[in-house]
Amino acid sequence: MLIYLNGEFVPKERASVSVFDHGLLYGDGVFEGIRAYSGRVFRLAEHIRRLFDSAHAIRLAIPMSLDEMEEVVRASFRKNDIRDGYVRLVVTRGTGDLGLSPDKCPTPTIFCIADTIALYPSQYYDEGLSVITAATRRNAPDALNPRVKSLNYLNNILAIIEGQAAGAQEVIMLNQEGYVVECSGDNIFLVRGDALVTPPTHVGALAGITRDAVIDLARDIGVKTDERMFTLYDVYTADECFLTGTAAEVVPVVSADSRPIGDGKPGAMTGKLIEAFRELTRTTGSPVYTDVLHA
């Protein structure tokens, strides 16, 4: 495996950062997880734009252009001969001292790891997930805005620890007012009748790339999608529920806090959107290899 690290590709055994890197010491940095399907990178431009937006929000200047960063992602897949896989693209504040000040970090650290990924076993896409509600609340947007995809994921990790202890595959996270915002690593959608609802990003949800793709797909097939706040009551009484994320893709939820959702099986609309999303990933994307045509 070859890892992109600060301008060159190195074997993973040599891919290391300083113990004084502020990404390691303080979670000071941003990242993206990006998928490739059949030699095409899915929504690459949107991912890179979000990376740069996250960096700008924390006053972290990335010393590359958007186009150059896109090529880093494509080259990472090529160097590792991966056509169906995942990259983790990370930009840290860089090496500094033991103080908090970002001014002591003159040069950001940039690395990109390409590998394969399967967040959930295939059975969960057929049978659905069981989730619980975490007691850990989502970070308040005025403290650390969850729209910044930062390296500080301890809030999410504490929530998933609760889920693992309860035997759940994922956890629902609430904001400080008690509204559903997202899961530990995925956006959440409900189906009620012939309409979809998902939390708006301003309440504390990440502006997910897959989330946005599913909203577009739903509207293309005439399904009304409403971005509004809702509570756990709405989850419990929904006809269907599913999660979206780059690693998760689109996965059904059939139980929340020991309450079956709908008839306790993946629903018809969820199934339609899973198939539509799979078709989208098969037919679109930024080509990695010369033998792959532009979509």
Q: pLDDT, tens digit, for every residue of 14-27?
A: 999 999 999 999 99
List the one residue out of 167, 168, 211, 158 whose CA is nearest residue 189: 211
H helices then E strands: how many in the chain? 8, 16
CATH number for the domain harbouring residue 67: 3.30.470.10
**How many domains are contained in the chain?**
2
pLDDT beyond 90 at 120: no
- Which residues belong to the active site? 149
Structure token digits, residue 265: 């099986």
List the one residue out of 213, 263, 244, 250 whose CA is nearest residue 126: 250
pLDDT beyond 90 at 291: no
Do 48 and 82 reside in the same domain of the chain?
A: yes
Which spans in 38-188 are helix H?
44-57, 66-79, 123-127, 154-166
Domain span at residue 47? 2-115
- Asked which of 51, 80, 115 is the last residue of a domain, the reply is 115
Give the per-residue pLDDT at 237.
98
Q: pLDDT, tens digit, for every residue of 179-231?
A: 999 999 999 999 999 999 999 998 889 999 999 999 999 999 999 999 999 99
Do 146 and 90 reside in the same domain of the chain?
A: no
The DSSP code for 63 is S
Do 102 and 134 reside in the same domain of the chain?
A: no
CB atoms within 10 A of CB 180: 27
Do 103 and 180 reside in the same domain of the chain?
A: no
- Give the Cα separation of 182 and 125 in Å (integer): 19
Query: What is the pLDDT averaged over residues 110-129?
Result: 91
- Give the Cα separation of 4 and 15 in Å (integer): 8
Sign of the dihedral through C-alpha 160, 164, 166, 170: positive
Q: pLDDT, tens digit, for every residue of 53-92?
A: 999 999 999 999 999 999 999 999 999 999 999 999 999 9
The pTM of the full predicted model, rounded to 2 decimals, is: 0.94
Q: How far is CA 213 from CA 175, 235, 249, 274, 279, in A?
A: 24, 22, 10, 11, 12
- Asked which of 115, 132, 154 is the last residue of a domain, the reply is 115
Do 95 and 142 reside in the same domain of the chain?
A: no
